[in-house]
Amino acid sequence: MDLYFLGTNAGVPTLQRNVTSIGLRLYEERKALWLFDCGEGTQHQILRSQLKLSKLEKIFITHLHGDHLFGLPGLLSSRSNQGGLSPLTVYGPPGLKPFVDMALELSQSRVEYELNVVEHEGGVVFDDDTFRVEAALLEHRIDSYGYRIIEKDRPGQLNFELLKQYGIKPGPIYGQLKNGASIQLDNGDMLHSHQVVGEPKKGKIVTILGDTRPCDNVLQLAHGADLLVHEATFLHDMQDTARKYYHSTAYQAAVAARDAGVNQLILTHFSSRYKDEHQLEPLLDEAQTVFPQTALAMEHHLFPVQ
């Protein structure tokens, strides 16, 4: 599991950075790509990346501001032409479905796959055998949500040497034992799953926030996460401006990461006043004084979830 940043700028794109979009690669976990936000130009960024639209399974929109949304109609209509025929579900706040429906209808776009748009107002927005995704309302000028992506614990590894000693050959019985069942051996003894299966592999937790001022739900969503993605639109000397426009500073993001007990913080959604990587360094320095395990989101860079 890792993150791939397609856009890290706030508000408008610049020559150095695109507007917000993040890919969560789940190639090992479910052979799929999830996308968080889809600002203008996202599909162009994907063409320049290692990501494939054919693997895109879900898109989560944090809020309906254009820098997080305007790339969606183009990406949806292009997906068929790039080999994406599997079903795709898009999640987001109320208003997302009429936006998507109208854009595709008026442009007479052909979508040759099953497209589902799910509007939500927080809570559990997705849940299956491998992942659960929770959402909560943040504090922004319009309804903006953060997402907590929870990978469920996976069964431990089978002890193949021990199975061989019990005379069990590879086959369906391996799957039964790994899934917690007990079997009867030829001598009549019972062999229980815990005797031949190691400790469960603990799932990862990733929290990806939309635009927000500091608020209680940030800590709720980020609590104990392995990785937190938090906006850092301004340096802290502009905290009054940040509050006025419902954004956060790098310092505030670091405080949230520290207080939520996360393992790693990645800053993103940078104001266009910070033109290049050199001008972003003060944001990183500011955050690391509070939370040393902080990194800057860099476009077309992979960040493993550790």
- For 170-202, the pLDDT digits (tens) are 888 888 888 888 998 888 889 888 888 888 889
Q: According to the model, what pLDDT value does residue 66 have?
A: 97
Residues 297 and 265 in one domain: yes
C-alpha R_g of the chain = 22
CA neighbor of 213 nearest in space, from 237, 235, 232: 232
Residues 166 and 22 in one domain: no
Structural domain span for residue 172: 160-196
Q: According to the model, what pLDDT value does residue 175 have?
A: 83
The annotation status of 223 as a binding-site residue, yes or no, is: no
Residues 240 and 181 in one domain: no
Q: According to the model, what pLDDT value does residue 178 have?
A: 81
The annotation status of 2 as a binding-site residue, yes or no, is: no
Residues 255 and 176 in one domain: no
Q: According to the model, what pLDDT value does residue 201 have?
A: 87
Residues 189 and 256 in one domain: no
Residues 43 and 173 in one domain: no
Q: According to the model, what pLDDT value does residue 102 have?
A: 97
Q: Which one from 37, 67, 189, 226 is the annotated catalytic residue? A: 67
Burial of 80 (0-12, 13-18, 19+ CB in 10 A): middle
Q: According to the model, what pLDDT value does residue 171 have?
A: 87
Residues 170 and 71 in one domain: no
Please tell me the total count of domains within the chain.
Answer: 2
Q: According to the model, what pLDDT value does residue 267 have?
A: 98
Q: According to the model, what pLDDT value does residue 80 have?
A: 81
Query: Do 246 and 209 form a contact (C-beta atoms < 8 A)?
Result: no
Catalytic residue list contains 67? yes
Residues 206 and 180 in one domain: no
The annotation status of 65 as a binding-site residue, yes or no, is: yes
* pTM of the predicted structure, to 2 decimals: 0.90
Q: Rounded to whole angstroms, how far apart are CA atoms 20 and 8?
A: 5
For the chain, 306 residues long, give each residue's pLDDT as a single digit of tens: 999 999 999 999 999 999 999 999 999 999 999 999 999 999 999 999 989 888 999 999 999 999 999 999 999 999 987 777 899 999 999 999 999 999 999 999 989 999 999 999 999 999 999 999 999 999 999 999 999 999 999 878 888 888 888 888 888 888 888 888 899 888 888 988 888 888 888 999 999 999 999 999 999 999 999 999 999 999 999 999 999 999 999 999 999 999 999 999 999 999 999 988 899 999 999 999 999 999 999 999 999 999
The C-alpha angle with vertex 72 and arms to 139 and 127, in degrees rounded to 5, equals 65
Residues 175 and 240 in one domain: no
Helix-strand-coil percent breakdown of the chain, rounded to 5?
30, 25, 40
Residues 176 and 228 in one domain: no
Q: Rounded to whole angstroms, how far apart are CA atoms 72 and 104?
A: 10
Q: According to the model, what pLDDT value does residue 180 have?
A: 83
Q: According to the model, what pLDDT value does residue 130 have?
A: 96
Q: According to the model, what pLDDT value does residue 131 have?
A: 98
The annotation status of 67 as a binding-site residue, yes or no, is: yes
